[in-house]
Amino acid sequence: MIAGRSSECSILSRIKRMASVPSGSQLKVGIGDDCAVFRPRGGAEDLLFTTDMLLDEIHFRRTTHSAEDTGYKALARGLSDIAAMGGAPRFCLLSLAVPRWADQAWVDGFYRGFLKLARQTATPLAGGDLALAEQLACDVVVCGAVPKGGALLRSGAMPGNGIYVSGKLGGSALGLATGNGRAWKRHLRPEPRLALGRFLRERLHATAAMDLSDGLSLDLSRMCTASRVFASIEPPPVFPGATLDQALHGGEDYELLFTLPPGSRPPASFEGVPLTRIGVTTKVRRGDPPGKILLEGKPLPPLGFDHFQNS
Ligand SMILES: [Mg+2]
């Protein structure tokens, strides 16, 4: 393992220091949010960029995940990051390293699953790369757009904002554990919340947002760290059959986590997906680093999925 016991977070902050952005750059948001935000000169829109790797035995298993499901998920993860910024996808790029076991039928199935979701979400495939390798690996770049200055960031929450989640959490973790039923389908085919992301930006004026990819406890802690606040929450809505632990710490739900200004009255659901208030952001106590979460008054450790600690 390249990283010893470092956490993904500490590796990222080291890289961030090394890759400093010159002042005056058109890059408005760099490393550390769901997408990078780039502002073209004279444009009415900001462009969003996200890149996600999908690796054999880490993100899927070819014994249990069909080629179509794998292709679908490869794109869904990037689209979820565009949704988290309140954006609309514009196009995508796909690089695929193909091992010997992946025959033509598998590769065709992968592209079928990928391109079906691409068509459904108006995200045309614009290019990429193909290579032969020992293990299957794929990297997907998605470009999206938001009106200039409108991107929802992780860093915008203020003390006193309501904290909300979409959907019911823990379904993907339950599906991975049981391998059947609705939860397994949730795990295989997460739905990027693109329409909800735009609704959060346009109608609810969300102050911060991100997608739940690594588990509520870890992702909320990341959002609170970026916003320099604490959070005080109650148990989130739990996917039928899942445990509270799976809902708090399980990854890959790809629901949206967001904050709203005080006094906001969001609808109870959006296009059939429940929107639930789970708590409130609070002021950082002097001497304590931001990012701390209290669940029913007790500290909640960020136990979600960290690729460099859970391996
Ligand atoms: Mg994300």
pLDDT tens digit at each of 311 positions of the chain: 344 456 777 888 888 888 888 888 999 999 989 999 999 999 999 999 999 999 888 888 888 899 999 999 999 999 999 999 999 999 999 999 999 999 999 999 999 999 999 999 999 999 999 999 999 999 999 999 999 999 999 999 999 999 999 999 999 999 999 998 999 999 999 999 999 999 999 999 999 999 999 999 999 999 999 999 999 999 999 999 999 999 999 999 999 999 999 999 999 999 999 999 999 999 998 888 888 999 999 999 888 766 555 54
Residue 252 CA to ligand 1 centre (angstroms): 10
Residue 166 β-bridge partners: 275
Residue 71 CA to ligand 1 centre (angstroms): 18
Residue 85 CA to ligand 1 centre (angstroms): 9
Residue 209 confidence (pLDDT): 98
Residue 89 CA to ligand 1 centre (angstroms): 14
Phi-psi region for residue 266, left (φ > 0), alpha (ψ -120 to 50) or beta? beta
Give the Cα separation of 127 and 91 in Å (integer): 9
Give the Cα separation of 30 and 27 in Å (integer): 7
Residue 51 CA to ligand 1 centre (angstroms): 10
Residue 254 CA to ligand 1 centre (angstroms): 8
Residue 105 CA to ligand 1 centre (angstroms): 31
Q: Please work out, in degrees rounded to the nearest 5, the angle formed at the alpha carbon of residue 250 by the alpha carbons of 81 and 285.
A: 80
Pair 302, 4: CB distance under 8 Å:
no
Residue 34 CA to ligand 1 centre (angstroms): 4
Q: Which amino acid is at 165?
A: V
Residue 140 CA to ligand 1 centre (angstroms): 13
CB atoms inside a 10 Å sphere around CB 182? 13
Residue 101 CA to ligand 1 centre (angstroms): 30
- Phi and psi of 43, rounded to 5°? -85, 160
Residue 81 CA to ligand 1 centre (angstroms): 5
Residue 22 CA to ligand 1 centre (angstroms): 25
Residue 104 CA to ligand 1 centre (angstroms): 31
- Phi and psi of 295, rounded to 5°? -105, 115
Residue 170 CA to ligand 1 centre (angstroms): 17
Residue 3 confidence (pLDDT): 41
CB atoms inside a 10 Å sphere around CB 263? 7
Residue 30 CA to ligand 1 centre (angstroms): 14
Residue 42 CA to ligand 1 centre (angstroms): 28
| E strand segments, the chain | 27-29, 36-38, 45-55, 88-98, 125-132, 137-147, 162-166, 208-211, 230-233, 256-260, 269-270, 273-282, 293-295, 298-299
Give the Cα separation of 282 and 224 in Å (integer): 9
Residue 144 CA to ligand 1 centre (angstroms): 14
Residue 134 CA to ligand 1 centre (angstroms): 28
Residue 156 CA to ligand 1 centre (angstroms): 15
Element (H, E) at 246: helix 244-249
Give the Cα separation of 185 and 205 in Å (integer): 32
Give the Cα separation of 218 and 166 in Å (integer): 17
Q: Which amino acid is at 79?
A: L
Residue 147 confidence (pLDDT): 98
Give the Cα separation of 311 and 304 in Å (integer): 13
Residue 276 CA to ligand 1 centre (angstroms): 19
Element (H, E) at 104: helix 104-120
Residue 154 CA to ligand 1 centre (angstroms): 10
Q: Please work out, in degrees rounded to the nearest 5, the angle formed at the alpha carbon of residue 286 by the alpha carbons of 285 and 292.
A: 40
Give the Cα separation of 37 and 92 in Å (integer): 16
pTM of the prediction? 0.93
Q: Which amino acid is at 144?
A: G
CB atoms inside a 10 Å sphere around CB 225? 19
Residue 290's nearest CA partner among 246, 226, 206, 208 is 226
Residue 100 CA to ligand 1 centre (angstroms): 31
Residue 33 CA to ligand 1 centre (angstroms): 7
The two tokens of residue 295 are 């669940």
